[in-house]
Chains A and B, each alone.
Chain A
């Protein structure tokens, strides 16, 4: 199989504009779609009036206070996860890594479930998930560091083992929690956007990190070819690896505390984009932010319309879409 790949190095900075433009248009279309569709359909004409500051009060509340914040939260979460996944894959030099591979979602889950068990509000749950995620990050890094310096393989193995440890704690918490709390906990574990109403901070984080990593893109390209090769080509590898690790953890922690642990976006989106766009991080990273966000907006639209008025956890949709896509990609690759 010879795939005609998009080679950005050969087309220069202009090569960024076309693919990112297409993805941005797709994101905009998905935003319009997810705002228009739902229990009450908002017609394009009404949506246009609301956008211009008009429309009736019901439509205004529905669009501006419910659907737009939720859609933007979905976009930010999906973008953060895909970006974090792409960064982790470069950090670990392993195309099968995802944002949760180092046990981050497990730590977040334990934090969130503990807050739910204690009956605390959604803001505390988010904060507690964030703290859990960062605690897990530090734990994994500290253990992988050991007495010497860490290698990607060692970091990966430590992360996998710590993640299964968190898994056991989560199961234990589910087993001892009162029945009326269980649905909320399960929804959180599968990823759920129904309480995500404040997309501001995650969106700013997403944009900021995209701008931050762009000038590092070429260094990341070199790092993907191995640490020694990268040092020999002038990359300060250790500081760069620290930076990726901290950034990816922060992105994932922000995503998880917005919407629970949504699977497969962080693994599948970078993969699909690499197949089409090649592996230049200067293109792949912003493309991940856009495509991951678009995918999660669409998945969330499905999640709240498929069995309306009931809502599905969005993580179920991404997994149902992601598993066959990923298996197909693996099957196709040599």
Chain B
């Protein structure tokens, strides 16, 4: 299983001082939750870890090699990314969209084969969108598109999942199903990092948490050490009440 590491990493958010450098390794089996207010740099952090943006300082390494030195194809075989925004200028069907997840695995002259198609179909079924396979993507609802994006990464089958608000637009049932899918990925030895806005999802499903403050400060560690009401109140500038439900803490903002 591949391993992603940030060494002395400072993400490049224009006009912000450096803050604390990030030194962490995404170990197989871990589920990381990244929490922070709007504009704190969660997406920037995720894109930097995926090698889509250059860091201000430091390096991101995949299996010990700097991302900047690796071919994109090699990275795409190990690392999958669920984007917050999607662009579909041209019409494509749901099945075609899931199938592009196979791109890093196929040589230029190779066409998608039966096995690729099976992987895509299985992923669509897993995300509950198999019945939409022939539909054009631009006719789907927001939640269906989100599930399709997750199905595309499932088809890609990377060792490391980086997901930017994967539960966006999802109803309660599909939020739970998605978090269950991601933690299942971790149980089978993959590493998962999620940007989340929902503290309670993080409390329930993540085992590691990274708090990202708007001034560039950050702290990270095991969930229980991080999800402390005083730290979260400072993070969001919002008073919280805490209760315990179903064995996990639940944070509710005070009116």
Chain A nearest Cβ from B140, distance in angstroms: 13
- A228 located at the interface, meaning its Cβ lies under 8 Å from any Cβ of chain B in the complex: yes
Known: A9-B112, A12-B113. A95 touches B90 (CB 8 A): yes
Which residues of A are found within 8 Å of B106, using beta-carbon distances?
218
Contact of A216 among B81, B93, B108 (CB under 8 A): B108
Rounded to whole angstroms, the CA-CA distance of A279 and B156 in the bound complex is 21
Known contacts being A225-B87, A229-B86, is A235 close to B93, with CB within 8 Å? no
> What's the nearest-Cβ distance from chain A to residue B95, in Å?
7
**A3 to B95 Cα, complex, angstroms:** 15
We find that the number of chain A residues with CB closer than 8 angstroms to chain B is 33
**Residues A219 and B90 in contact, CB atoms below 8 Å apart:** no
Q: Of B103, B111, B134, which is in contact with the most chain A CB atoms at under 10 Å from its CB?
A: B111
CB neighbours (8 Å) of B79 from chain A are 232
Are B87 and A222 neighbours in the complex by a CB distance under 8 Å? Answer: no
Residues of B within 8 A of A12 (CB): 111-113
- The CA of A10 and the CA of B136, in the complex, are separated in Å by 15
Is A198 at the interface (CB under 8 A from chain B)? no
Chain A contacts of B191 at CB under 8 A? none
Whether a CB of chain B sits under 8 angstroms from the CB of A278 is yes
Count chain B residues whose beta carbon lies closer than 8 angstroms to a beta carbon of A: 41
Task: Kindly state whether residue A233 has any CB partner on chain B within 8 Å.
Answer: yes
Does A233 contact B76, Cβ atoms closer than 8 Å?
A: yes
Chain A residues lying within 8 Å of B117, measured Cβ to Cβ, are 9-10
Chain B residues, CB < 8 A from A219:
103, 108
A229 engages B83 (CB within 8 Å): yes
Within 8 A of B (CB), among A208-255: 214-216, 218-219, 221-222, 224-226, 228-229, 231-236
The reply on A197 being an interface residue by CB < 8 A is no
Q: Are B90 and A274 in contact (CB under 8 A)?
A: yes
Is A51 at the interface (CB under 8 A from chain B)?
no
Are A218 and B103 in touch, CB under 8 angstroms? Answer: yes
List residues of A (1-52) whose CB comes within 8 Å of B's CBs.
Answer: 5, 7, 9-10, 12-13
Which residues of B sit under 8 angstroms from A228, Cβ to Cβ? 47, 52, 83
Cβ contact within 8 Å between B96 and A9: yes
Within 8 A of A (CB), among B42-77: 47, 50-52, 71-77
- B81, B89, B91: the one contacting A93 at CB < 8 Å is B89
B28 interface hit (Cβ, 8 Å):
no
The verdict on A278 contacting B101 (CB below 8 Å), with A93-B89, A216-B108, A234-B76 known, is no
- B100 at the A interface (CB under 8 A): yes
Q: In the complex, A13 Cα to B114 Cα: how many Å?
A: 12
Residues of B within 8 A of A233 (CB): 76, 100-101, 103-104, 156
Minimum Cβ distance to chain A for residue B53 (Å): 10
Min CB–CB distance B120 → chain A (angstroms): 9
Closest to B88 in A: A225
Please list the residues of chain A having a beta carbon within 8 angstroms of any beta carbon in chain B: 5, 7, 9-10, 12-13, 89, 93-95, 214-216, 218-219, 221-222, 224-226, 228-229, 231-236, 274, 278-280, 282
